[in-house]
A and B are shown apart, each in its own frame.
Chain A
Amino acid sequence: MTVKNSLRECQVFSRLTDSQLGKLAALCSKEVYEAGTTIFNSGDTAERLFVLEEGKIALQLLLPVKQSELRKRITVDIIAKNELFGWSGMSEPYIYSLSAICLQRATVLAVNASKMSSVLQDDYAIAYEVLYGLVNVVSVRLHDTTQLLVTERSLV
C-alpha cells in the first residue's frame, strides 16, 4: 500500500484531498518493529506521531507505587490497524504521556511532527481536518484512560 493510501485509511487524515495527502506523505517513513519492542517510552521527547499499518500496539501508563521502586503498569488502550498514536508530538510540551509497546510485529508510518506542524501552519484547510481528527483521538484516549483508572481503583 502506498503511503498516501495508508494515510487515507486513517480516520484523522481520511477527509484530506489527494494533493493534501501528498504533502503529508512526504513527511512519512515506513518502519517495522518486532513484538515486544518499545516504540517510545512515556517521558520521551515526542518528535513523531505514528499510523499503524499492521500489527497491534499497547499504550501503557506507568504509575509510581508508594514506598517502592516498582511502578504499576496499566494498559490504557490497544492501537489497531489504521489508528494513530503518539499525538503528543503535535502538542506542547511535546513529551509522550504513555509508552507504546508492540504486542505483534508492527508496520508503522512515522510522521515527522515538527514538519507536519509547519505544513498545518501553511495550509489552514489541512490544519482544520487534521486537528479535528486529533481532537477525536485525544478524546477517546482520555475517556478510556479515565475508565480504566477508575476501575483500577474500584471507584465504580
Chain B
Amino acid sequence: MQNTRVIVASGYAQIRQLLAELVRGEPGADVAAEAGNQFEAIALAKQLEPDVVLMDFNLPYQTGFDFVRLSRISGLDTAQTIVEVTPNSRVVLLNNLADISHRKKGVVSGITTHLSTHRNGIRIPLTLRELRHGEAATGVPVFANVEV
C-alpha cells in the first residue's frame, strides 16, 4: 500500500516543522509538501491531490500583509475550498496550535504530539491512517486538535 501523503500548512515555520514531525512520527506517512499561505495551500492541493492536509487555522491569506490584524485567519476558508477542489483529500483544520506554541514559549520542535477530535465533548484520538481510510465525511473539513 502506498504511504499516506500529507500536506502541512501554517503561516509559521515552527508550526509547519511541528506538523511535519507529527507526520513523520506515524509509520507509513510522508510529508508531500509544506504551504505557508492560502494561495500555496490550494495550489499544492490541486497539484498533488494529497491523502491528507493538516492545516493550522492561523494561515495567512497572502504574504506581506502582517500589518492587517486579521491577516492570518484563512485556515477555515482554505480548508473548505480544498475539500471542494480535491474531494478525495481529507482536510484537517487544527485550532489549538497557537496555544501550544504559546505554552511552549515558541519552542515546539522535538515535542511528541498526536491528533485528536471531539465528539459530544469526548476526546477521540485520530491517526493519519484513520483519516485516510476512515469514515470521515467527504466535502467537509475535520475539526481536530494537536495534543502534546
Contacts and interface: CB of A to CB of B under 8 A. Distances in A.
Interface in B99-148: 117-121, 140-143
A78 B118 contact: no
B61 A152 contact: yes
B68 A58 contact: no
B80 interface: yes
Interface residues of B, number: 27
Contacts, number: 64
A16 interface: no
A156 B65 contact: yes
Given A36-B140, A75-B74, 18 more contacts: A34-B118, A35-B117, A36-B142, A56-B95, A58-B73, A73-B80, A74-B74, A78-B70, A101-B76, A103-B93, A105-B118, A144-B69, A144-B70, A147-B69, A148-B70, A148-B71, A151-B61, A152-B61
B17 interface: no
A20 interface: no
B70 A60 contact: no
Contacts of A75: 70, 73-74, 76-77
B136 to A, nearest CB: 11
Interface residues of A, number: 26
A60 B76 contact: yes
A67 interface: no
Contacts of B93: 103
B74 A35 contact: no
A6 B96 CA distance: 24
Nearest to A58: B76
A77 interface: yes
Interface string A143-156: 01001100110101
Interface string A81-105: 0000000000000000000011111
B88 interface: no
Contact of B70 (A104, A147, A154): A147
A35 B95 contact: yes
